[in-house]
Amino acid sequence: MAPNTSRLLPRAFLAGGALFLLAALGAVPVVPPAWGQKGPHVDAHVRHVAQNTRPKAPARSTRRRLRDYDSYVRYFSGLAYTRSGVNLSTNFVRALIAAESAARPRAVSSAGAIGLLQIRPETGRRAARALYDTGYEFRFVDRRRLRRLSADDLKDPALNILIGCYLLDRYNAEFGDHLARTVGAWNAGPDRVRQYRGTPPYEETVGLIRRVNAFYLFFRRQDARTP
């Protein structure tokens, strides 16, 4: 899962709006169908579930906990890790945190995934080392901790969100900023997205995609209502 090391690009501002996860600076957002999946290996059930997803609010307790980490989400999603002028949607990161851990920083899954974004230790260590090697000094995180990341470090909200945003941006860059494919890579691994040429049709993966999309649409709608 670990992407190749690359130099961290300068910070970019978030260009919002589209259902795709990233937007280039200065581009006019185009809002295509959120689930315009194509390809012979895409399960029809994935397409059906995706097309019928509606906005859904995470639990109130989850939203309350999420607010504690908003400064981290805004900062780390606002870094251009792979492409100049392009960065992650804050609403997507919020949605994935809500879906993966209900915003509980000490959550540990039966598979050993840890923290807000449920990152496996080995994946986290490889990503942390790649981030360390950029030489970039991040806010909220002591860079020295990235050099030898422990499993327990993934319970640190700032570290977890930094590593998660880095990995998500790598998947976004590879899979065309497509929410379903990025979440598919996050859950099942990028090799499975390549294998199926789209969303892996696994029950767990489809369920996560559905929850993330529903929460993402909710947060996006809330933003639109904020004066």
Written in H, E and C, the secondary structure of 183-198 is: HHHHHHCHHHHHHHCC
Could you read off the pLDDT of 69-91 as tens digits, one per residue? 999 999 999 999 998 888 899 99
Tracing tokens 């489809």 back to the chain, one arrives at 206
CB atoms within 10 A of CB 63: 18
pLDDT at 17 over 60: no
Q: DSSP code of 85?
A: T
Are 124 and 154 spatial neighbours (Cβ–Cβ below 8 Å)? yes
pLDDT at 226 over 90: no
In this prediction, residue 23 carries a pLDDT of 36
Please state which of the ranges 57-66, 79-88, 185-194 shows the lowest mean pLDDT: 79-88
pLDDT at 35 over 80: no
The proportion of the chain whose per-residue pLDDT surpasses 70, expressed as a percent, equals: 76
Alpha helices in 41-89 (DSSP H): 44-51, 60-67, 70-77
pLDDT at 53 over 60: yes
Mean pLDDT of the chain: 81
DSSP lists the bridge partners of residue 108 as: 114
Q: How far apart are CA 24 and CA 179, in angstroms?
A: 16
pLDDT at 139 over 80: yes
In this prediction, residue 198 carries a pLDDT of 86
The CATH number fitting domain 59-178, selected from 3.20.20.70, 1.10.1200.10, 3.40.50.2300, 1.10.530.10: 1.10.530.10
pLDDT at 5 over 70: no
Name 152's Cβ contacts closer than 8 Å, sequence gap at least 6: none
| φ, ψ of residue 80 in degrees (nearest 5) | -90, 95
How would residue 52 be classed by pLDDT, with cut points 50, 70 and 90?
Answer: low
